[in-house]
A and B are shown apart, each in its own frame.
Chain A
Amino acid sequence: MTRNLFWVSFFHYLRRLSRGYLGILIFVALPLVIVWVLSFVYSQNTEEQIYVFGYNMISTNISIGMMLIFQLSGGIYLLNYLNHDLIKPMKWRLKASPCATYTLVFSGTAACLVFTVLQGILIVVGTSLLQDAYWGNVWIVIFVIVLVSIISQFLNITLFLYIRNVNTAEYISWFLSWAMAVLGGLIFTLPDNAFFSFMKQYGTPFSLAQSAIRESGFLGTSSTNMLVCIAALLGIAGILAVLVIKLGRRKLI
């Protein structure tokens, strides 16, 4: 019964996600537009070689960063569904059904994960075809997208369970994504010292994911480095999973 309810809810959330046209616009079209605009602007102001092995290096840097920012913010979908289904009046109807709250949360998380991963892949494909961006090893990239999306979902569930005010949680979620991007060196050049070097390469999920993707192709220097970054992302996902389970047991059931 529980398994059946999981799939009923999973497809229900996927259907709702597919109807959120504004969300799709923000999470797929907007990053593509930003990549296109920023690549054009930066290409005008550089004297470095833009194309390497037929790939546009400016687009590549911006594409990886933008994809990761929007992946890290992808958990906002889940945040809004949890708010609608578990806080607003809908909670009484759903609580009255035989579907346990944790089944709803699991299925919602899984659906949002699948959806945001697909959005991430669309950005990868879009920037590869339209902007000549280089993404390295495609399987590593997909794996990293999945990991970043898992981290984003768990992070947003944690924010939701702690804060309970979806607007505040949403602002914090966006802030964290962009703060990570800043520390990852995407927005502006960071001071050249040990702390910022570390932050840029390993300091946040954004930096770890960025490093893993870069290290998976000719932009990288060591596959060990890539494995370290992926292991660290797995570790963060694991820690957040434990936190979500603990908080969920206390606050959701």
Chain B
Amino acid sequence: MIAGMQNVVKRFGNVQALDHVSFAIHEGEILGLLGPNGAGKTTVIRTLAGLIKADSGEITLLGKKQDVNNIRLKQHLGLVTQEVTVFEELTAEENLRYFGGLYGVKGDKLRQRVKETLEFVGLSEHAKKVPGKFSGGMQRRLNIACALVHSPKFLIMDEPTVGIDPQSRSYILESVKRLTMEGTTLLYTSNYMEEVQAIASRIVIMDQGKVIASGTLDELVSRIQHEETIRITVSNPSVALAERFRAIQGVKTVMHNGADYTIVSGAGSDNLNRVLMVAQQRGSVSNIVADKPTLEDVFLTLTGKKLRDEEAGV
């Protein structure tokens, strides 16, 4: 385990921001922290990074007890803030030199790291430009670079892709994957479920200051999977075919609309092959899809809310 929280509680006045939060992050993994605004994700990050003090509970980082102002631990930590926090009056290169310097990187090593980091985020050609001349996506990439220049063992990314174009987002997600291949452990928070689904090896879902579920995507999906849905389009549709589908073991309902059939079976029925076989006996099949629950469905089932609706409401 590279970092973890055990029964951590944090209150701000009457608001319970963290309610006995526990989870662990293992070396080399990307842990996705998912939750609507106000779920407590940022408070988790700030307590984990030693920026604010928890009221109770235990936080460990790199095998040591984490506390506020633990300078030795901070040396191995990188934080990508939710807002773009770079110095507007300095060039990209100067920003990186400063943040590298703050972590004790100096001389040739600093020069080398600044060069490598700019290359990593694709800003080498813009090293001498000030961030004010950058697009939103480039500013976000510089924001990430500032947290990477000292080669942290553990990187925390707090919604690093907010408000950027899809191209920059996919660049950032690819960079994140490359980072873990290079041995960095990551805690990645996001409001975008598809991002977490795409990169995280394990996922923690938070709501109202509590961890409400955690595990791999498959584990989370299996927890909520009650039904399997198969959609099939055939060349010779008929009522009789619908009846044949209905007769398959485990099938609950069959809906028929023109050439399209929707067949709902109980969880674990594995009826895809059977449905295909039955359909092929009556003619050709032009399309067949088995709908798998997504992280969105997991989130909706567990919290009763849609992440995007929450976001739009804020």
The reply to whether A93 and B85 form a contact with Cβ atoms under 8 Å apart is: yes
Tell me if A1 counts as interface (CB < 8 A to partner B): yes
Contact across chains for B81 and A4 when beta carbons are under 8 A apart: no
Contact (Cβ within 8 A) B71 A100: yes
* Chain A contacts for B106, CB-based, 8 A: 4
Q: How far is the CB of A64 from chain B (nearest CB, A)?
A: 32
Question: Which parts of A12-71 form the interface with B (CB within 8 Å)?
Answer: 12, 15-16, 19-20
Within 8 A of A (CB), among B70-128: 71-72, 74-75, 77-79, 81-83, 85, 87, 89-90, 94, 98-99, 101-104, 106
CB distance from B111 to the nearest CB of A (A): 15
A252 to B83, CA, bound (A): 22
A5 x B102 contact (CB < 8 A):
yes
Contact of B104 among A4, A90, A94 (CB under 8 A): A4
Select one of B85, B90, B94 contacting A92, CB under 8 A.
Answer: B85
- Do residues B102 and A9 form an inter-chain contact, with CB atoms below 8 A? yes
Q: Smallest CB–CB gap between A250 and chain B, Å?
A: 15
Q: Which of A1, A89, A253 contacts B83 (CB under 8 A)?
A: A89
CB distance from B169 to the nearest CB of A (A): 21
A96 CB-CB contact with B under 8 Å: yes
**A 96-118 to B, binary, CB cutoff 8 A, 1 in contact else 0:** 11111000000000000000000
User: CA of A92 to CA of B147 in the docked complex: distance in angstroms?
Assistant: 12
Q: Within the complex, what minimum Cβ distance (angstroms) separates B254 from chain A?
A: 55
Asked if A246 is at the interface (CB within 8 A of a chain B CB), the reply is no
Expressed in whole angstroms, the Cα–Cα distance for A92 and B87 within the complex equals 14
Contacts of B104 in A (CB 8 A): 1, 4-5, 98
| Residues A98 and B98 in contact, CB atoms below 8 Å apart | no
Cβ of A89 to closest chain B Cβ, rounded Å:
4
Set of chain B residues within 8 Å of A9, measured between Cβ atoms: 102
* Inter-subunit contact B85/A19 (CB<8 Å): no
Interface residues on A, range: 20 to 34
Smallest CB separation, B51 vs chain A (Å) = 5
Contact of A19 among B51, B90, B146 (CB under 8 A): B90
Contact A98 B75 (CB under 8 A): yes
- The docked-state distance in angstroms from the alpha carbon of A8 to that of B106 is 10
Is the beta-carbon distance between B87 and A16 smaller than 8 angstroms?
Answer: yes
Question: Which positions 26-55 of chain B face chain A at CB distance < 8 Å?
Answer: 46, 49-51
Asked whether B69 is an interface residue with its Cβ less than 8 Å from the other chain, the reply is: yes
Contact of A8 with B101 in the complex, beta carbons under 8 Å: yes
A8 CA to B95 CA, complexed, in Å:
12
Interface residues of B in 220-241 (CB under 8 A from A): none
Residue with the highest number of chain A CB atoms closer than 10 Å, among B82, B83, B102, B146? B102
Docked pose: A121 CA to B90 CA in angstroms: 26
User: Complex formed: what's the CA distance from A222 to B85 in Å?
Assistant: 54
Q: Given the complex of chains A and B, what is the CA–CA distance between A122 and B165 in angstroms?
A: 48
Query: Which residues of chain A have C-beta atoms less than 8 A from B79's C-beta?
Result: 92-93, 96
Q: CA separation between A98 and B100, bound complex, in Å?
A: 11
Complex-state Cα separation, A93 to B45, whole angstroms: 12
B52, closest chain A residue (CB)? A95
Q: Cβ of A98 and Cβ of B102 under 8 Å apart?
A: yes
Once the chains bind, are A20 and B89 in contact (CB under 8 Å)?
yes
Specify which of A20, A96, A253 is in contact with B77 (CB 8 Å cutoff). Answer: A96
* 23 residue pairs from A and B, CB less than 8 Å apart: A4-B106, A5-B102, A5-B104, A8-B102, A12-B98, A16-B89, A20-B89, A89-B85, A92-B51, A93-B146, A95-B51, A96-B49, A96-B51, A96-B74, A97-B74, A97-B103, A98-B72, A98-B75, A98-B102, A98-B103, A100-B69, A100-B71, A253-B69
